[in-house]
Amino acid sequence: MAGLLAVNVLAAISLAKHAKANPVSYNDGYRHPPNGICTDYSIKVTATSTGYIWGIPKFKDNYDVVEFLTEIARKDSAEVFHPLSGVKNVTDTYEVAATFCTPKKTKGGKEKTVLLATHGLGYDRR
């Protein structure tokens, strides 16, 4: 979750710094609102986050799952149960797409407010 938040923050900063980035054209069926002038941007962002290394073997059957749940629910699990064996840094490059729209007609100065919205679970710009 922290890694995704970092990517969003870095993308917003990068978009602000590169406001005149090369516009891109998407052919994904997404239509811009008819009352706006919109430009699409694509920004590559490299992010590093800490990944945890799973320290127990994969579950073979339901008995392994029950054993895991029993161990993690123990009163003294913080002292005796250690499912993680370490951490490692994970670095990857992501392409973040953004669309910036301005209204075609101005209405009393409210068009100077910028709304930064992120996608839901669909990841397809809807």
Q: 40-72: per-residue pLDDT in tens?
A: 888 899 999 999 999 888 999 999 999 999 999
**Secondary structure (DSSP) of 21-49:** PPB----SS----TTEEEEEEEEEEEEEE
C-beta separation of 1 from 51 below 8 A = no
Q: How far apart are CA 32 and CA 96, in angstroms?
A: 18
pLDDT for the residue 18: 47
Task: Specify the pLDDT at position 48.
Answer: 94
Taking the complete model, does pTM exceed 0.85, yes or no?
Answer: no
Annotate 44-78 with b (16+ C-beta within 10 A) or e (fewer). Answer: ebebeeeeeeeeeeeeeeeeeeeeeeeeeeeeeee
